Amino acid sequence: MSYFDINLDLSWEEKEIKSTAHRFAKEVLRPVSIKLDKMSAEDAIAQDSPLWGALQQCYAMGYHKALLPESVGGGGFSPLQAHLLLEEMLWGSMGISTTLFLSTWVFNTLLAMGDDRLIQEFVVPFCECEDASIRGCWGIIEPDHGSDMLLTDEEYFSKPGVRGQVRAYLDGDEWVLNGQKAAWVSASPIATHCKLNLQIDDSLGLSGGGVCIVPLDLPGVSKGKPLEKLGQRDLSNGEIFFEDVRIPKHYMFVEPDQYAQSIKTNLGFGNSFMSVMALGIARACFDESFEYAQQRIQGGKALAEHSSMKIRLHKMFSQVEAIRAFSRAVWNLNSSIYPPLSEYAYAAKTYCTEATVDIAYEAVQIHGANGITKEYPIEKFYRDARLLTIEDGENTTLNRAGGTILNNTYPRTEVQKII
């Protein structure tokens, strides 16, 4: 089901983007995501998994490059067009869409660095790729460092002695990498490239980090088993190990002087995206609940005809609309300025994901016992939604980081639109 968009100014082209993406999400992504959810984590990425066909169709549609600029062969979508596309795709499958747009984001970061060598070597081939053979992931979290890695304004972040588990040193014209990233790195089991955060200068503590691009077929790279997890099982997660992996010097595109800012920028974009993930699954929950309430008869009439159910469904509808409005506003803001405003990204992420967990809970209640069987998609949506409040920064951590930003910047004066 797709509902009226409250923005009356959508152009014909924007409506087309929305309806084409909705059809694709319904016919391709949703059925595959339900199959992947029921498979083991290993089978879900095996050669004969339906994941590959779905991903290839995404690339053939050009969705992987839609958000990249036309100057490098991308689709040149505006922020609003991007938001419309993301909502529909995430409605169909959080996992496959996250795999896809994580790749977009990894290669977009390289583009933003402005180094022509990186653009020609990585970004242009990604845009030209039509068979899903180039896929990205972002490795920051480590077995011993979760929230630590994200709280750049905390005093321990620059305390000598606290250091990351993946480390790099310069040897002539090459960086040599050693260490391990946590099993939480999304899409890493199937990724061909990793945007990797690592430790360079121990005297600066965690703030002495760097960010580089690592092709994952290099000697010395290995991967752990894909993780079995509660929800978002259509997204694979797993460890990456580095043993004397050598990369050319220019692959390290952020060094310690820019490191803390680069994390804030990543979280600003990443958490704007997270709010759209929440929107996709929130709307999926509403759509299913609304349809179910039309069909299920109790007390001699459809559930939807009972006054208490009208109230519950309308409340859910209001929440979805509020999530969309907030998410779209923050997405548009942070896609139009540089660097993004993290306090808005964290506000949108925490608000939208928590509202979505509530919506998913109510959706199960509305389905009654049917809500907890695999005969209906709602139990999957419930599990998928639950992960949102931890992904890309546990919500308390993000509120804390946002509070620090407010202390330092409030009241913020106007920001300059650059895109």
Ligand X SMILES: Cc1cc2nc3c(=O)[nH]c(=O)nc-3n(C[C@H](O)[C@H](O)[C@H](O)COP(=O)(O)OP(=O)(O)OC[C@H]3O[C@@H](n4cnc5c(N)ncnc54)[C@H](O)[C@@H]3O)c2cc1C
Interactions with ligand X, residue window 197-236 (CB under 6 A) = 232
Residues 6+ apart with CB under 8 A from 12: none
Nearest to 277 by CA among 72, 98, 65: 98
Compute the distance between CA of residue 213 and CA of residue 193 in angstroms, rounded to an integer: 7
Q: Is 393 in the site for ligand X (CB under 6 A)?
A: yes
Judge contact between 283 and 320, C-beta under 8 A: yes
Q: How many residues bind ligand X (CB under 6 A)?
A: 19
- What b-and-e string marks burial along 279-312, b requiring 16 or more CB atoms within 10 Å of the CB? bbbbbbbbbbbbebbeeeeeeeeebbeeeebeeb
Please, which residue, 289 or 342, has the CB nearer to ligand X? 342
Judge contact between 234 and 94, C-beta under 8 A: yes
Q: Is 319 in the site for ligand X (CB under 6 A)?
A: no
Nearest to 377 by CA among 12, 106, 85, 36: 36
Please, which residue, 81 or 342, has the CB nearer to ligand X? 342
Q: Is 397 in the site for ligand X (CB under 6 A)?
A: yes
Which range touches ligand X (CB under 6 A), out of 50-58, 310-318, 348-356, 387-395? 387-395
Backbone torsions φ then ψ of 157, nearest 5 degrees: -65, -30
> DSSP label at 336?
S
Please, which residue, 140 or 366, has the CB nearer to ligand X? 140
Q: Is 89 in the site for ligand X (CB under 6 A)?
A: no
Which range touches ligand X (CB under 6 A), out of 139-147, 157-165, 333-341, 347-355? 139-147
Q: Is there a cis peptide before residue 339, judged by omega within 30 degrees of 0? A: yes
Which range touches ligand X (CB under 6 A), out of 1-9, 303-311, 335-343, 386-394? 386-394
Shortest spacing between CB 144 and ligand X, in angstroms = 9
Q: Is 394 in the site for ligand X (CB under 6 A)?
A: yes
Q: Which amino acid is at 327?
A: S
- Residues 2, 20, 147, 336: which binds ligand X (CB under 6 A)? 147
Interactions with ligand X, residue window 148-167 (CB under 6 A) = 150
Compute the distance between CA of residue 386 and CA of residue 378 in angstroms, rounded to an integer: 12
Which range touches ligand X (CB under 6 A), out of 69-77, 124-132, 135-143, 161-169? 135-143
Which range touches ligand X (CB under 6 A), out of 31-39, 49-57, 142-150, 288-296? 142-150
Q: Which residues in this chain contact ligand X in the complex, by CB under 6 A?
A: 138-141, 146-147, 150, 184-186, 232, 387, 390-394, 396-397
